[in-house]
Structure 1
Amino acid sequence: MKHDSRPSLRRQLLLWLLLPQLVLWAGGGLLAYRMALSYAEKGIDQSLTQSVKALARQVKPVGSGLLIDFPKAAQDVLEQDPDDRLSYMVSSPPGQFLLGNQVMPQPNAMLSIGTPYLYQTEVDGTQQRVVALDVSYGDDSSPNLLRVQVGKSLAVQQRITRELVADMLVPLLLLGALLSMLVYAGIQRGLAPLKNLTRQLEHRTVETIAPTEETQAPSEVQALVDAINQLLGEVQRSVHQEKRFINDAAHQLRTPLAGLISQVELAQSAAQNDPDLTQRLKKVHTGAERSAHLVHQLLTLARSESQVNRQRVDVAALTRDVAREWTPRVLAHHMDLGYEGEDRVTIECDKLQIREALSNLIDNATRYCPAGTQITLRVKRSRDAVLLMVEDDGNGLTDEELSQAFQRFWRGSQVAGGCGLGLSIVQEIARRHGGQATIERHGDHGLRITLALSLRSGMVANPPFSAQPHGPSTSP
C-alpha cells in the first residue's frame, strides 16, 4: 500500500494544540520547581536566622571573658536528626574555635556586626546553608569580636521541594491528559463534517452525480460544500449534455444511413451490366455499412457509460443464448463457434450490457480471424469473480498491439467494417460492473479476451462442472 506523504489536517491541529500545551506544562513544572525551591530556601533561612540569634544570646561577656550558657539538652536537640542536623560553631576572634563543630567554613565576605549573613557551602561532603553573625563584646579599651555560625543540610530542603513539585505537577499532568482528550475529541467532532462529505463523494459516479446533503456543517465547511455542489452541478449538466448529444446524433444518423444502404443495394442491382459503376457502388456500400456500424457502436458506448441496471442473471445461460444468435453469421464466415464451461452461474449484472459485450467480442473475432478459425466461449467461476472468456485461434496480435487493444478507435487491422470501439465498449462494461477486461495470447497465434465480473451477494451455488464438447454451435 502506497504511503500518503501529504500533511494531515488532524495531525497538524493536534500538533499546534497539544505541543503548546506540552511546552507550557513543562515550563510550568520548571517554574513550580523554582518557586518551591525558593520558598523552601526562605523557610530554611528564616529558621537559621532565628537559631543563630538564639545561640548568640547564650554567649555572654563576663569581664574580659565569655560565659557560654548552652545546655547539653539544647545541643542534643540541634544534633538529634542526622538528615536535618544543625551544625554550629562559636569562634572568637572569628575563625578561632571555641565551641561546636570545628569544621565550619568561614564566609568570604566582610560581615556587619549584628547583621546575619547567609551563604551556601559544603560540610563533610554535603551541601549546607549557613548563617553567620558577628557580635562585639568587651570594653572600649579592649574590644573583641565573637562569631556565631549555624548551618543546616539542604537534603531536607530538596526533599520538601520535590514533594511540593510532585503535589503540584501530578494534578497538572492529569488535567493535561484530560485536556488532551478533550482537544482530540473536539478535533474529531470538528472534522466530522469533512468525513461525512468524503463518504458522500466517495461513491459518486458519472451517472450518480448529485449535490451533497451536508446541511449541518459549520459555516467554513458549508462554504466548501456549496462550492463542491456547484462544481458537481456543472459536471452533471456537462455529462448529460454529452450523453444526449451522442444519443441524438446516433439516432439521427441511423435512419438516413439505413436508407442510404438500401438505395445503394438497389443501385447495385440495377447496374450489374456496368462494372465500373458496380465497383463504385460497392465502395459506397462498404463506407455506408462502416458508418452505420460506427453509429451503432457509439450508441452502445453511450449506453455502457450510463447507469448499470443490475438484476439476477444466469450468465452461463446468457452466454449460450448469445452463441446461438451468432451461430448463423459465424458459420457464414466458415468458422466454428462453441461453448465450454459452467452450466449455471447467477450474478447481479446488467443483462443487456453483458450481452452487448459478448456480441462485440464475437463480432471482432468473426471480422478479423481467417476462415477455419475456432471461437470458444467459456464461463468460469473464480474465488471472487465470474470469468467470461472468448477465445480464438486466429492470427493474434503483437505485444505492442496488445498494449493498445483497449484504446478507443485503435484498429489492429484495416479489414473493412471495423471502427475500433468494440474492445473499448467491453472494457467500459467490465468497469461498470466492478471488474475489468484483459487480453492475452491463446495458444500459438490466437487471442483470449476475459471479462471479469465481481460476484455480488446472493450468488446461486453451481452444480458440478459440466463441459459440453466443442463443435459447431448449432445448439451451444
Structure 2
Amino acid sequence: MQKNPLNNQTARHYSLSGQLLLWLMICLFIILSISAVVSYSRAYRSANVAYDRALLREVLALAEQVDVVNNQVMIDLPEIARNLLEYDKDDFINYRISAPDGSLVVGEPAIKPPRKALASGSHIYYDDMLDNEKVRVVAYALPIINSELKGNLLIQVTETRTKREKMALEIIEEMLIPQILIMLVTAMVIFLSIKRSLFPLNQLRDSFARRSHEDLSPVVADNAPQEIMPLLNEMNDLMLRVKVGVDFQKAFVADASHQLRTPIAALQNQVELALREPVSAQVQHALENIAVSSRHLSRLVQQLLTLARIEPGTESQFEFKEVNLTQLVQGVTAEWVPRALSKNIDLGFESSESQDLIISGNAFMLREMLSNLIDNAICYTPMGGEVTVALSRQGDNAVLQVIDNGIGIVPAKRTLVFNRFYRVEANAGDGCGLGLAIVREIVLAHHATISIQDGLPHRHAGGTNVYGTNITVQFKTVDSKPYDKQ
C-alpha cells in the first residue's frame, strides 16, 4: 500500500505544543529583555549619580586649594593631597585647572574643556575620551574674587568608568538572576500544561492511525476539547460526503466497464466485418467514418474509466512498489511503433544511463501515463514527423521526456492543457482532451513533477523554425540495477 502523502517526511510539519511554547518563550524573553534594558539603564543612572556627586566633591575640594595672588593663580596642594586625589584602586583620575583665557595652569593638558561656557559658580557633567578611554568629566567654574584678574578658573576632574559599569552590572545581576529562574520555572509549567491540554489530540491521532483506509465512519471523541469539536464535526461531514462519492464512483466504474466496453467492442467488430464486404463507395466511406468514430469512442471511454480510477480518493486501490522504469518505458514505446509507422512518424527510445532506473510506483498507472504522452505526441505531430522518448538521470531523479516536432504549445497555454477536455487546437489531431489530464493525476499520485518546454524544431510552411513539445516528468529514484543496452 502506498504511504499517505501527509506522512511524507520531506513535508514541513510543526508541533502545536512546540509553537505555543515557542511563542510564550519569545514573549517571556522580550519581557525579560525589556526588563534588563530598563534595569540596566536605571542601575547605570543610579551609579552615575552616586559617583558624579563624589567626583563633584573632589572638584570642590580642589577649588578650595586655589587662590589668585598678584594676578597669578596659586595652588596650595601638597604632594600627599595630590596623590590622594589621583589615587583610586579601580579607576584613573586626572584633573586640570585652566586660567580665564583657557591656558593650562596645572594638571593634564589632554583634558578638553566643555563645549559651552559655564556661568560663575556652576558645574556640569559630561562624557568624553581621554587617552582612548571613556571618562566621566565634571567641570566647575570658580569665580575670581578680589583680584585684577577677571573671569573664572575652570577646574575639571576626569574619572574612568570602571566602578560605574561594575556597580551597574552587579545591580543588574542581582535583578536578572531571579527573573531568569522565574522564567525557566514558568516555561516548565507552561510546557507541562500545554502537553497535558493537548493529550486528547494525541488520542485522536492514534484513533485515526488505527483506522483502515476503507473506514469512513464518523469519529467519536467524547473527551475532545470544545475548541476542536467544530473541526471534528466538519471532518465527520466530509468523511460522509467522501464515502458517498467513493461508493458512487466505485459503482460507476464497475457498471461502466461492463456496460460500455462490450457494445463498443461489438460495434467495432461489426464495422470491420462490414468493411470486408463488397459495398458501394458511399457505404464504404460511411463505414470507414463509423470505424474511426468507434475507435475514438473506445479511446474516450477507456480514458474516462482510467481517469475515474486514478482520481484522488481511489489511489489506494493501486499497489505501489519498485518499478523498473527503464524496461517499462522501453516496452511501452515499442508497443506504439506500429501506430507511429501508420503516420510515417519516426518513434524512438533513447537512454543515457547504463543502469536501470528504479522508482516507487504502480506499473499500470505508469504505462497509462506514458501511453497517453506518446499518443498525444503522435496525434499532434504531422505526417513524417519525429517523436523521441528519452530517459536520463539528474541527481536522485529519473527524468522521462517525450519530445516531438509537432504543432507545439504556446507558453500561455501550457498550464491549461492539463485541464479536462481542453485542446490546444480544435481541428488539430484526433484527441479528446483527456490524455494530459490523466497524465497529471498519475504524476501527482507518484509525487512527481511535470513541465512543458519547447521540443524539436521543424521548418514551417512560411520558412521559419517552429518548435514542437517537450513534456518532462521527474520521479524520485529508489535504486539502480545493471542494464545492458541492446
Q: What range is the shorter-chain TM-score in?
A: 0.5 to 0.7
Q: Greater CA radius of gyration, 1 or 2?
A: 1
Tell me the CA shift for residue 408 of structure 1. 0.9
1:330 is matched with: 340
Tell me the CA shift for residue 201 of structure 1. 7.8
Name the CA distance, whole Å, in 2 between partners of 1:380 and 1:200: 43
Residues 51-130 of structure 1 aligned to structure 2 (within 5 Å): none
- Between the aligned residues of both structures, percent identity stands at 33
Name the CA distance, whole Å, in 2 between partners of 1:368 and 1:172: 74
Residues 163-312 of structure 1 aligned to structure 2 (within 5 Å): 177-194=184-201, 210=216, 217-220=223-226, 223=229, 224-225=231-232, 227-270=234-277, 272-273=279-280, 275-305=281-311, 306-307=315-316, 308-312=318-322
Gaps of 5+ in 1: 27-165, 469-475
Name the CA distance, whole Å, in 1 between partners of 2:193 and 2:481: 49
In the TM superposition, what whole-angstrom CA distance separates every residue of 1:136-186 from its partner, at most 9, and x where no partner exists?
A: xxxxxxxxxxxxxxxxxxxxxxxxxxxxxx999998985675244213321
Name the CA distance, whole Å, in 1 between partners of 2:236 and 2:195: 24
Tell me the CA shift for residue 381 of structure 1. 1.5
2:390 is the alignment partner of 1:378 = yes
Give 1:450's match in structure 2, choosing from 464, 468, 472: 472
In the TM superposition, what whole-angstrom CA distance separates every residue of 1:247-276 from its partner, at most 9, and x where no partner exists?
A: 422431111112222333344444632x33
Identify if the C-alpha distance between structure 1 residues 262 and 172 changes in structure 2 by more than 3 Å, giving closer, same or farther: closer
Name the CA distance, whole Å, in 2 between partners of 1:453 and 1:235: 29
SS of residue matched to 1:443: strand
Gaps of 5+ in 2: 1-11, 36-172, 458-466
SS of residue matched to 1:455: strand
2:452 is matched with: 439
SS of residue matched to 2:286: helix
- Check conservation: 1:247, 1:299, Cα contact below 8 A: no
User: What is the identity, as a one-letter code, of the residue corresponding to 1:421?
Assistant: L
- Check conservation: 2:321, 2:360, Cα contact below 8 A: yes
2:81 is matched with: none
Name the CA distance, whole Å, in 1 between partners of 2:455 and 2:255: 40
2:91 is matched with: none
In the TM superposition, what whole-angstrom CA distance separates every residue of 1:55-87 from its partner, at most 9, and x where no partner exists?
A: xxxxxxxxxxxxxxxxxxxxxxxxxxxxxxxxx
- Check conservation: 2:455, 2:470, Cα contact below 8 A: yes
- Check conservation: 1:336, 1:375, Cα contact below 8 A: yes
- Check conservation: 2:200, 2:223, Cα contact below 8 A: yes
2:404 is the alignment partner of 1:392 = yes
2:350 is the alignment partner of 1:340 = yes
Q: How many residues align?
A: 317
Name the CA distance, whole Å, in 2 between partners of 1:327 and 1:13: 61
Name the CA distance, whole Å, in 1 between partners of 2:409 and 2:179: 74
Name the CA distance, whole Å, in 2 between partners of 1:329 and 1:286: 14
Tell me the CA shift for residue 284 of structure 1. 3.1
Once the two structures are overlaid, the 10-residue window that deviates more, 444-453 or 246-255, is: 246-255
1:430 is matched with: 443
Tell me the CA shift for residue 350 of structure 1. 0.6
Name the CA distance, whole Å, in 1 between partners of 2:208 and 2:255: 30
SS of residue matched to 2:454: strand
Identify if the C-alpha distance between structure 1 residues 170 and 258 changes in structure 2 by more than 3 Å, giving closer, same or farther: closer
- Check conservation: 2:249, 2:308, Cα contact below 8 A: no
Identify if the C-alpha distance between structure 1 residues 253 and 225 changes in structure 2 by more than 3 Å, giving closer, same or farther: same
SS of residue matched to 1:370: coil
Once the two structures are overlaid, the 10-residue window that deviates more, 238-247 or 371-380, is: 238-247
Residues 31-42 of structure 1 aligned to structure 2 (within 5 Å): none
Aligned-residue Cα RMSD (Å) equals 4.4
User: What is the identity, as a one-letter code, of the residue corresponding to 1:397?
Assistant: I
